[in-house]
């Protein structure tokens, strides 16, 4: 382990990522405002595919659409990866699909916990959220130089020890809304894992999934698995869109990662939105 020497890495301890993966360096912070914010700033100066930032605590963890991501210090896995994938800009959001599947796989491999995915990229157990993913991209410079392609920072928050199991005195620390809607590996399995022990399992799984995205056959397998793990398919859903809401049965996920909903007057394809599962299958 060595203190990272670049000014941008001040306060971080740098280690190598898992051997054989694209993740060449992991910068570990005891605290930072947001690992996504940190890597986006790094990427503006020097985008390097495979740089990882992980924090014991985020002072301003980000969710999607300006929402926040909560986790008391040292309880959960809070990690972001900087990617410069060989994908056209219109396909960058597929990194979310890779990250969601990798997170589910890490839970299976490290904790024997089966999870499902709620479209677009929540990792859930039943109706409770175990993990969330936030991908934020920077426009490509487009000058063809190495590292000049589109840059995406994919942040993953995975609840390992928090929220605590039901009845635990620590439950008092959980905000009321999350008490009903969130869960953790500890709560689901009783296994008290160190969040950092999950990191390399997750990075290995993400490396495998990113390789699948880059290959036509691999991509078919990736989406077949996404559909298999997707708790949204077959459900009655309400999808909140920037300009309104649609309700109907979720019919399919397209090869672009879009959700197809039977809105009553024919199938509608939704590229992005917030989904609520209304009733069972």
Among the listed ranges 40-48, 62-70, 96-104, 254-262, the one in contact with ligand BT5 (CB under 6 A) is 62-70
Sign of CA dihedral 183, 275, 59, 209: positive
CB of 80 to ligand BT5, least distance (A): 5
128 class by beta-carbon count within 10 Å (0-12 exposed, 13-18 middle, 19+ buried): middle
Please give the residues from 102 up to 141 whose contact with ligand BT5 meets the rule CB under 6 A. Answer: 129, 132-134
Task: Report the residue from 40, 43, 52, 71 that binds ligand BT5 according to the rule CB under 6 A.
Answer: 71
Nearer to ligand BT5, 168 or 262 (CB): 168
Regarding 75 and contact with ligand BT5 (CB under 6 A), the answer is no
Pattern 180-209, ligand BT5, x by CB under 6 A:
--x---------------------------
Regarding 272 and contact with ligand BT5 (CB under 6 A), the answer is no
- Total residues contacting ligand BT5 (rule CB under 6 A)? 27
Bridge partners, 277 (sequence order): 237
Residue 54 has phi, psi (to 5 degrees) of -135, 145
Tokens 């089966």: give the residue. 114
Regarding 161 and contact with ligand BT5 (CB under 6 A), the answer is no
Q: Name the packing angle between helices 195-213 and 94-111 (round to 10°).
A: 140
Tokens 């990736």: give the residue. 222
Tokens of 73: 């210090």
Tell me how far apart the alpha carbons of residues 151 and 217 are, in angstroms, rounded to a whole number.
24
Nearest-CA neighbor of 70 among 59, 79, 80? Answer: 59
Neighbours of 105 (CB within 10 A): 20
Pattern 8-47, ligand BT5, x by CB under 6 A:
--------------------------xxx-----------
- What residues line the site for ligand BT5 (CB under 6 A)? 34-36, 58, 61-65, 67, 69-71, 78-80, 129, 132-134, 155-157, 159, 177-178, 182
């Amino acid at each position: 382990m060595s203190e990272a020497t670049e000014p941008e890495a001040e306060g971080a301890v740098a280690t190598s990522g898992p051997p054989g993966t694209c993740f060449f360096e992991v910068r570990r912070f005891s605290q930072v405002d947001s690992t996504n914010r940190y890597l986006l700033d790094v990427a503006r100066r020097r985008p390097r595919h495979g740089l990882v930032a992980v924090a014991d605590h985020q002072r301003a963890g980000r969710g999607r659409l300006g929402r926040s991501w909560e986790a008391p210090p040292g309880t959960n896995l809070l990690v972001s990866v900087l990617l410069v994938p060989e994908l056209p800009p219109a396909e960058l959001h597929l990194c979310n699909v890779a990250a969601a599947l990798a997170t589910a796989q890490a839970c299976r491999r490290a904790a024997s916990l089966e999870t499902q995915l709620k479209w677009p990229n929540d990792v859930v157990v039943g109706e409770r959220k175990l993990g969330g993913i936030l991908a934020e991209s920077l426009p490509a410079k487009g000058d063809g130089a190495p590292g000049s392609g589109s840059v995406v920072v994919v942040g993953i928050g995975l609840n390992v020890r928090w929220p605590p199991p039901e009845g635990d005195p620590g439950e008092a620390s959980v905000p009321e809304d999350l008490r009903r809607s969130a869960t953790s590996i500890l709560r689901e399995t009783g296994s008290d894992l160190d969040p950092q022990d999950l990191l390399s399992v997750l990075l290995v799984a993400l490396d495998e999934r990113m390789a699948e995205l880059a290959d036509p056959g691999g991509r078919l397998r990736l989406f077949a698995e996404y559909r298999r793990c997707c708790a949204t398919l077959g459900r009655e859903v309400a999808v909140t869109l920037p300009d309104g809401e649609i309700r109907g049965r979720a019919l399919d996920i397209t090869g672009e990662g879009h959700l197809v909903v039977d809105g009553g007057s024919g199938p509608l394809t939704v590229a992005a939105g917030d989904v609520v599962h209304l009733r069972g299958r």
